[in-house]
Structure 1
Amino acid sequence: MQHRIDEIPLPSPPARGRLFVTNFSAVGPDPQAALDRIGATSLLCLLTPEEIRLRYPDYVPWLVTHMPPWFASQLDQRDVDEFLAEHAEEFGDFNLDDVRFNSDLDARAMWLPIPDGGIIFDGALMGAVAYVNDSLYKGTNVLVHCGAGMARTAVVGILTMISLGADPSQAPDDFRAARPGGGPDGPAQMLQIARLIERAQRLIPFD
């Protein structure tokens, strides 16, 4: 069974890349195959370590080898080695010495763990949105996923749409039209989007 991957509409310009969203079932077994399906080279994972461990623990080594350490450090205030050492038992048996970022790989991964149905610090969320915004601005296709690809993914997707010039009042409806059933899950996620609208609109692509 091939799980659906949906494209989210973006203002063009400024976006030259394309934004796709999906669920963990479409990505976990073979992340590279999921990226290849849509011609993407960047991936943002919003799952917690426990969610990954319970379903596709081998996904973690893939994330780490494709995730620049500076990105994990920026979001988590910890480098990749410390993070993995802390959660090593959750992820099963693999040698941390053999799992390192490989700068020669074409694909890039970003990992921002957000609790299911919950939120994370505004600054960390906006760091991820800024990275997706920059990737799209530069013409890179990006794939974003959480568990079902509906709520946490919608928070990032809607803020990304707004950061690229979408109407904040229309972006949630446009996201839901592209990803049926998608949208923020409850007041906390809705309020987070609302309070970050102005910050999203001020985002400037990285140099």
Structure 2
Amino acid sequence: MTSTMTMLIENFRVLSEMTVNNQTDKLGLSSFSLTPMLKAEYPEVEMAVRVTRTGKQTFWHEDKVLQYENIYFADADFFQFFKYNFLAGSPTTALLEKNSVVISDEIARGFFGSPEEALGKMIQFSKSLNKVTGVFKKEFNNSHLDVNAVISISTLPESYTEKLSWDWFWMAQSNYIQLHPNTNKEEFKLKLDQFAERHIDPWVLEEDVQGRLRYHLQELKDIH
């Protein structure tokens, strides 16, 4: 069976190495501000994607109510970074707007009968009304992400994302980057240390946080 997802060798998840009270842990989650800042500061970063997973969620459309797990919030480039087979909509534009949602063909058929009928329809999730801007084929894949729906990350409340952006030690999402093919990985790892020294260490001192934070890269093929 063909995999839904194609992973490139230059695609990485950013790992956090957090040291608190002399105990060091390496986490698959990292800070909300991290990858947008990396992309802004380093031309080697071609793409940056934040992904936040939620638990089981309830969706509504008219009088139909269904529950699904593996619902994510993600940046607009999610379907550029992770390659899915789209049955309706465009992977390049589907998550550009606030309150946009891309759903699996399973959800599309459950609510609307077909992927084509789902496109452009409104579906209620939590307290927000979201527009279906894409439908992908739900197939077996060997990814660590088992996705049923992806909502544009701009849909998250601004008050929540402001808190996430301020606190470097609040890790509620996974961060992914795609590096330019000619990037020297060892040199870029040094730049990650320099980034932490420049942005995080001063914040730690200012806020009197008892801890240290550094970052590492993990190739996607090594996550499984």
TM-score above 0.5: no
Higher strand share: 2
- Higher Cα radius of gyration: 2
* TM-score of the superposed pair, with normalisation by structure 1: 0.28
Higher helix share: 1
